[in-house]
Amino acid sequence: MAVDLTPLRVLSASGIIAHLSLASTFLGTIALALVLEFRYLTTKDEAFRERARTFSVISTIVFGVGAAYGTLVEFGLVTVWSNFVTLMGAIALPFYLELFAFLFEVVVLPLYTLTWDKVRNGWAHFGIGVVAAFGGYWSAYNILAVMASLSMLPPGLSIVNLQSHGQSISKAITYVLEWQSPSDVWNMYWYGAQVFIFHGILAALLVSWSLVAGIYIHRYIRDRDPIRKRILNHMLLPISVLTLVQGLVLGHFQGELVLRDDPLKLAVFEGMYWSGLRVDPITSIVAYGTLNHEFWGYYSWPASIRPPTYVTFTYLVMMVGFGILLGILALALGLSYAFGHKLEKVGLGFVYGLEPWLERASQYLIPLSAIMAGIGGAISTESGRYPLIFVSSVPSGSGPPQIEGIPVGALLNVTLSMPVWEVALLTLVVLAIPFVAVYGVWLYVNRRR
Amino acid sequence: MISSSSIVAGLLSWAFDVHLPLVYTVLGILWITPFLEYVGWKRNDERYMKLVGTMLNYLIAVYAIGGVFGTIITVFLAGLMPVFTNLAGIALWPVWATAIVAGVIITIPVIGMYYRTFGRWGHRNHAALGVLLAISASIIPLMFRLVFAYTAFPAGTSIVPDGSSVTGFDLVVNVAQAFNNPLYPPLYASTMFAALAFTGAMMVFGFSLRYKGLPHQDLGITIGRKLALVFGALFAVSASAYLYEVYQLSPTMAWSIFGRAPPYLPSAYQPVYRPTYNLSMAFYTDVVLAVITFALLLLNFRSESRALGVLLGPLSVAVLDISEAVDLLAHAPYAVVPPLQVAEELASKYGLSFALIL
């Protein structure tokens, strides 16, 4: 009898998303600390230094909880999806490199946070911060390289299905991965992985900066502290520009890869619910710049490998829809804050006129849109390839391209049995732990007041 | 050219040798500080509180770096020995799951709470929290040491011939029976005694190194050397008991550690059980270093020399690291050393080359 993987998938997804939220917050807050410290060094404005210091401490608190939480997620994944460990043997390179990045963070980040009053040369202190941030981004780079390989099989890596030869290892392990040559292991960082990685890093930055921007707008509405507005001026327009880059540049490249490597994922993303080839004008113009290109519909593939249909919602509504909303709000409020009534000179006076409304809406909608887009993107990426990992497509003569990969069910720990209530309880615990970081930040911010 | 197994051995030894002294220190601090706080409260002695505060300042940093290296070990294991780690994860998942709950879900937030509430809560309640935390943290080695004992002697494991398995057979582990491993009690006891003895030695080392004549530093040195002496002696007894069981039950390890095949091993099986590394020199060096450490500790009682106190630090780290490295590497070429009875059964079915199949 087939095992229902849904409860365990929900448990793992909850853990990963909660860890992702902490990791993203770290990447965003350490970047913000550096931007503000840079502004302090170039303007000598103490307000920037003060805020930079605050964000460096917040990033350290979030990093501490996130690092410990990462261990929980890792053990959780290995306990539930044990057979992934054998596959890890082939894709271990990014994991190794990530460890050294992690070590970097552990040593240099506290150094950055604790030496604000001790390193006299401001640029030297800034340099320490750059090194600490590099550790964080290098860490994200490597983990995202692994995640990229799950969605797109790297060149040179092949799947060996032991079961198809009537074999297994101890009746548990039925799939292994094999590189054509040892040096191919560097293909973990192939072009497709690079697109995936920078798409992911930018998403992390956008979510965390939007969260901080929402809090700053909320407070600015109440106290009209000019420092807050100056800091928002460093965040809102960059958020809008980066959203544009995310959607139109990296998103486009990512879309091209999905089109080539996993047309079934593309079908569920774009809601192409038909069987066989059919013209889809919207997807056609986005992908090819024409209106008459044909695409294989979702029902062209067997039900056993079709991803869940909710992915259409998480992609089109959550990721694309809320992403666009984020870009528009950040652009409008960013322009209004940065240029004020000067916008009238370029015919955009109405934007300034809308500022009070924009402020009230943006304090909630900017963070909400970013979170929805981020979670929507993550779910679309991972559920869009379900029920397979290490996905690739092989052209076939007449029918749709053949989608290949390792079934997620083959990763499950065959000896594991957990009742649904136990899974639900664990999910609640997993979702609650990030609030330790929130509590830590709250304690710190209130102590400083 | 360096073999791949030597690279695996080197990387794992490095990670373990950084991780273990750190987590031993965490365990030691967690067990020692509640009692110091309670005694200080009962005697109304401020020196004890200052001592506890100083030790707690190290707790978070040591725990964080120790945790990072714990993660490094898991990634090294998964990356370098994926099939073994995979199968161990499946066979012993309740063990990992319990360690996760105790080590991460409970211990991490409570360590933060324990640190922050010192001086804010009443001392009796805070000490009680510390004891509960120490018990929770001790569950982590209670679980992981079972895995170590299992790799030396896989108790509770049965072998089912399976023509479809790449190895020719399946391993079936009864986790409840795995806890009946004769190596397990002395190994866990020696771990806990070593953690307390090591932390005591580190107290002497740390306070001697940064000595400023403060009353709580004198107290730390006095208590540290008593702890190191008492628990060091208990460690020697439990570690000897562990070695005895290893000698009886794990032929490859016994051969590697003591430098020659145990006499009960039939000569026909010697090629099967021959270890990759002869670690007898390392083992005897470790014993000598342990004796020197013990002697220095005794001397420190008489002379109260700061130099002797400082010397105890690197010596204790060396004793601990060498013993852990020897215990880890003595398994090679096996990840799990097959018991002699199993070898006889396997050899009768597959011939002596079964080990190569593995």
pLDDT score for B64: 76
Provide the pLDDT for residue B355.
41
**What would the two tokens of residue A66 be?**
């996130």
Selection from A357, A372, A378 nearest residue A325 by Cα:
A372
pLDDT over threshold 60, residue B351: no
Q: Model confidence at B352, in pLDDT bands (50, 70, 90)?
A: very low
Q: Which domain holds residue B271?
A: 4-357
More confident residue, A366 or B156: A366
Nearest to A436 among B109, B162, B170 (CB): B109
Sign of the CA dihedral with A77 first, then A78, A79, and A85 last: positive
Chain B residues with CB-CB distance to A65 below 8 A: 108
Q: Sort out which chain B residues have CB atoms less than 8 A from A75's CB and list them.
A: 74, 96, 99-100, 104
Rounded distance between C-alpha atoms, residue B188 and residue B176, angstroms: 17
Chain A residue closest in CA terms to B91 = A415
Contact A172 B90 (CB under 8 A): yes
Three-state DSSP class for residue A273: coil
Give contacts of B171 with chain A, Cβ < 8 Å: 170
Taking contacts as CB-CB distances below 8 angstroms, the residues of chain B near A67 are 64, 67-68
B193-205 in b/e form (b: 16+ CB < 10 A) is bbbbbbbbbbbbb
When CB atoms are compared, the residue of B71, B90, B170 closest to A71 is: B71
ipTM of predicted complex:
0.73
| Percentage of chain B exceeding pLDDT 70 | 94
Cα dihedral value A58, A59, A63, A64, nearest 10: -30
Question: Of B96, B13, B72, B5, which is closest to residue B324 (Cα–Cα)?
Answer: B13
Q: What distance in Å separates residue A110's CA from the closest CA in chain B?
A: 10
**Residue-level pLDDT at B357:** 34
Q: Which two tokens stand for residue B339?
A: 């018991």
**Rounded-to-integer distance, Cα A426 and Cα A420, Å:** 10
- The strand pairing partners of A173, in sequence order, are A169
Question: Residue B349 has what pLDDT?
Answer: 62
By CA distance, what is B71's nearest residue in A?
Answer: A71
Return the closest-CA partner of residue B166 out of A407, A178, A82, A172.
A172
The DSSP output letter for B319 is H
Per-residue pLDDT at B87: 81
Both structure tokens of A394: 């092989």
What is the nearest CA distance from B11 to chain A, expressed in angstroms?
11
Alpha helices for A152-225 (secondary structure H):
191-223
Please answer whether residues A236 and A358 qualify as being in contact, where contact means their C-beta atoms are separated by less than 8 angstroms.
Answer: no
CB spacing of B164 vs A166 below 8 angstroms? yes
B174 at A interface, C-beta within 8 A: no
Q: What share of chain B is helix, strand, coil (3-state, %, to 5)?
A: 80, 5, 20
A28 neighbors A216 (Cβ within 8 angstroms): no
pTM for this prediction: 0.83
Structure tokens at A204: 């992390």
In this prediction, residue B358 carries a pLDDT of 33
pLDDT < 70 stretches in chain A: 1-2, 448-449
| Contact between A82 and B93 using a beta-carbon 8 Å cutoff | yes
Query: Which carries the bigger pLDDT value, residue A324 or residue B78?
Result: A324
pLDDT confidence bin for B354, thresholds 50/70/90: very low
CA distance B290 to B237: 13
Average confidence score pLDDT of chain B: 87
Amino acid letter at B117?
T
Split into its structural domains, chain B has a count of 1
Cβ(B299)–Cβ(B229) under 8 Å?
Answer: no
B282 min Cα distance to partner chain A (Å): 29
A357 Cβ contact list (under 8 Å, min separation 6): none
